[in-house]
Amino acid sequence: MTAAVLGLSLNLLGIAFAPITTPHLSERFGRSPVYLVSLPIFALFILGAGYSKSFAALAVCRFFAGFFGGPCLVLIEGTFADVWSSHKTVTYYSVLSLASYIGAGCAPIILGYVVPAESWRWTQYVTLMIALAAFLLGVGVPETYPREIVRTRARRGGYKIDLAKAESGVTLAEMAGTTLFTPLAMAVSDPVVVMITIYLALNFAVLFQWFIAVPAVLALTYGFTLHQAGLAFIAAVVGALVSTFTSSSIEGVTNRRNGCTSMANMAPIEYRLVPGMFGSVGLVASLFWIGFSAKPTVHFMVPIVGTGVYVWSSMSILTALVSYIFDAYPAKGTLSALTLMATTRLIFAAWLPLVVIQMIMGLQGQWAYSVFGFLAVPMIAVPIMLFIFGPRLRARSRYSAPTMSNGKHPMNQRVDQEMQMGSMHH
């Protein structure tokens, strides 16, 4: 069973390198070249996985597919930040999360029909088709990174520019400090970052085990076929859609109540945590719900609906916490915090699917998911504590800057970049 899951875990481990390396590539070359180079290489390794003749070849191709495809997943957050106003951060990140969750949820639905009719290799071929479509859509899309736009205009116009030093670092030592050593230091020294990192690691680990546990549990408990188990992921798609609606609606309400109408008049970022407060309660409830309802005496729709509630909760938490961190620190601190959080949650997401079936078989479903539920109970306090104590904790952080007199955090790097665009000279 462990070997069967290894393809998923190795892919996630490959992606885990992307948060460390991608910011530096983007700073030097812009966003578009990174997309247009990494995506074709990703597609080649997916093709290799589809044609692999040995388990070793499959494992290697899956890892490097994640390694070279990871920059696209990391960079999309920066692209969205380039084109969306920061007072709509929760909305745009919920849309971004929706794409990820729906993509993951639709894969079992589609492949539940394709694989039995063809073979497992079509899991890679379908991915290859989607990658090709994404590449064709991306060709010709204009650059969005403000600093690269300024540099390109200067090169074409033949004049010099004066841009502030890149926050991600210029020398190799500075780059390693920003996305390697500072994140490691934050993991043991910054309470805000530690709490969010632990919560998102648990969240992602449990999220990715569903792709292994749901088909197995439905097959063993209710005798589901592969395509029937795939259809169960419709609940996950619905949960993601509902999360996007609720998170963006909550942001709209909190913005109106705080008189926030533009990026220059942002509401305190603690209000971005509100969707996560609701999601935290739903996460605990859904884990116990699924654990104690997935049995032959209970209709199969009950645990399936519980899975949808879990996805709604999981996505609401992710959207809230990551949106909060976006503007919790100055640019360099934010980049280091996001690097730590992304890498850690991907590592945990790669680990848990390797052992979840053994957990279910050893503890039985009720207690296996109760373990996750009990671990999630204290996490309910995380968004609440950050809402109450967040400003004080961030003010004390060595990675932060002094807060403004009105209690709002200084505007994030997007404003700085816009100001830098006006500082170029001939």
pLDDT in tens, 199-214: 999 999 999 988 888 8
Average pLDDT over residues 268-283: 96
Measured distance CA(58)–CA(376) in Å, rounded = 35
CA proximity to 281, closest of 240, 309, 323:
309
Q: Which amino acid is at 363?
A: L
Average pLDDT over residues 81-95: 90
Proportion of the chain above pLDDT 90, given as a percent: 65
Residue pair 238/412 in contact by the 8 Å Cβ criterion: no
Count Cα neighbours of 249 within 13 Å in the Cβ-side half-sphere: 6
pLDDT at 421 over 70: no
CA–CA distances in Å: residue 171 to residues 167, 177, 186:
11, 10, 21
pLDDT at 136 over 60: yes
Q: What is the pLDDT of residue 365?
A: 66
pLDDT at 5 over 60: yes
Q: How many helices (H) and strands (E) does the chain have?
A: 17, 0
CA–CA distances in Å: residue 184 to residues 170, 181, 241, 426:
20, 5, 34, 41
Structure letter (DSSP) for residue 409: P
Structure letter (DSSP) for residue 266: P
Q: What is the pLDDT of residue 17?
A: 96
Q: What is the pLDDT of residue 214?
A: 85
Higher pLDDT: 406 or 304? It is: 304
Average pLDDT over residues 303-317: 96
Higher pLDDT: 365 or 240? It is: 240
How far is residue 355 CA from its own chain's centroid?
A: 22
- Whether the CA torsion 172, 173, 174, 179 is positive or negative: it is positive
Count Cα neighbours of 383 within 13 Å in the Cβ-side half-sphere: 26
Proportion of the chain above pLDDT 70, given as a percent: 92
Q: Rounded to two decimals, what is the model's pTM?
A: 0.89
Determine which of 156-160, 234-238, 324-328 has the lowest per-residue pLDDT on average: 156-160
**Could you give the angle at the alpha carbon of 379 between the alpha carbons of 388 and 384, nearest 5°?**
15
Q: What is the pLDDT of residue 238?
A: 97
Average pLDDT over residues 302-327: 95
pLDDT at 405 over 60: no
Helix (H/G/I), strand (E/B), else coil: 42: helix
pLDDT at 25 over 70: yes
pLDDT at 426 over 60: no
Q: What is the pLDDT of residue 401?
A: 58
Average pLDDT over residues 104-108: 91
CA–CA distances in Å: residue 99 to residues 28, 269, 327, 352:
27, 24, 22, 23
pLDDT at 335 over 90: yes
Tell me the pLDDT tens digit for each residue of 113-133.
Answer: 999 889 999 999 999 999 999
Structure letter (DSSP) for residue 84: S
Q: What is the pLDDT of residue 160?
A: 83
Q: What is the pLDDT of residue 409?
A: 38
Higher pLDDT: 138 or 420? It is: 138
Determine which of 15-24, 329-338, 355-364 has the lowest per-residue pLDDT on average: 355-364
How far is residue 96 CA from its own chain's centroid?
A: 9
pLDDT at 310 over 60: yes
Residue pair 179/19 in contact by the 8 Å Cβ criterion: yes
Share the mean pLDDT of the chain.
88
Q: What is the pLDDT of residue 412?
A: 38
Task: Kindly state the helix (H) or strand (E) to which residue 399 belongs, with its residue range.
Answer: none
Q: What is the pLDDT of residue 425?
A: 35
